[in-house]
Amino acid sequence: MTEPTGSGAAAEAASLGEFSRRAGEFLDSAIPANWSELEPAELIPVAREFQAALYDAGFAGITWPAEYGGQGATAAHEQAFREQAAGHDLPTGPFVIGLGMCGPTLVDLGTDRQRERYVRPLLRGEEIWCQLFSEPDAGSDVASLRTKAVRDGEDWIVTGQKVWTSGARHADFGALLARTDPDVPKHAGLTMFIVDMRAPGVAVRPLRDMTGRSPFNEVHFDQVRLPADAVLGEVGAGWRAAVTMLGHERVSLGGATRRRDEPLGAANLARLARENGTAAVPQVRAELAGLHAAERALELFSVRLRQEAESGTPPGARGSVGKLGGAMLLWQALHAAGEIAGTDAVAWEPGDEAAEELAVAINAVPASSIAGGTNNVQRNIIGERILGLPKEPQVDRDVPFRDLRVGTQRETT
């Protein structure tokens, strides 16, 4: 971002100050009371209403292009809002996938009609999106997916299964990656589609994870018919579309706004250390200092990526640095929590909501190293695309998908 000078700098600072003040006032008054106590199905209408208010107040899609419903403001405005939001717990969870991954990909690759149709309703919270990539037999090797889309006249017929799909139960639309040509190598025969999650043939089944909650789902497609204009990007260019979305996903996951009072945040763990008398223990102090420094470093890295994106430099593989850094930060916080809370981190008295929230957060940490691509996948990307290290051997890179007999592709397709 260009550094402002002279009176321009003063004007921008005043503008940012006013923007930040308005954001603080909005958040102080507009967040629904006790929303975190709602069941997921009860939360959806509350979240939609809040997201609409957020949009109407000018705080949704802050850096998104104005012609598609965004605010057209700067990364500095985005950061100013995030700093205000960090002091609050926002009911925006249902929109994380849509706003962090699907929406930016629609802006990048969608047709004018698709942008006009989908982006503004997404920003207003009228429609919820999910990402349909992972499959039971593909895992982190997304290009090995087997859900297929076959031409039928102008339409496409989709058959297959996705898994670990966050928020699919409440989603109105999904960004689906499907195989459209099994006669070419696995990366070349994919296409991305926009899927109406209420269409005939789409079935969603919740999955319960080790926290006891059901944020994930498996999604089955049984002869689901999609129109020709459901293609997002180009036919056969699904891998490029997937890389675009995964880049947004990694920036979103690595640069997510962290509440100042979140259970595994340095500030909350420091408070817990003061309460239980461990704040003076050298090991605890070292853990907390290291955690605070890591939080701040990741935050500044995310700010830099957003500023560079605003000036026309996409994050590319550096999104993997943020994603990996975010996952490693949670493991670091998990270790600090163990030093501070001991057995209280895994057992609590009934009704102690803070202790229960800490335990749930701890149980969710392992998923951070898997969701959005495993840590080792991120390390491979960083090594090959940023550090220029030799690529790993890929024996199936040039083999038509139909002939693959390695890894997860041992069965006849």
* Residues recognised as catalytic: 249
Cα distances from 326 to residues 32, 105, 332, 383, 398, in angstroms, run 28, 22, 10, 18, 34
DSSP 60-112: SSTTS-GGGTS----HHHHHHHHHHHTTS--S-GGGHHIIIIIHHHHHHH--H
Gap between the Cα atoms of 330 and 295, Å rounded? 10
**Enclosing H/E stretch for 351:** none
Residues 6+ apart with CB under 8 A from 338: 345
Find tokens 């006849």 and name the residue. 412
Under 8 Å between Cβ of 261 and 239: no
Find tokens 């990694």 and name the residue. 250
239 burial via Cβ count (<10 Å: 0-12, 13-18, 19+) = buried
31 burial via Cβ count (<10 Å: 0-12, 13-18, 19+) = middle
Gap between the Cα atoms of 22 and 254, Å rounded? 27
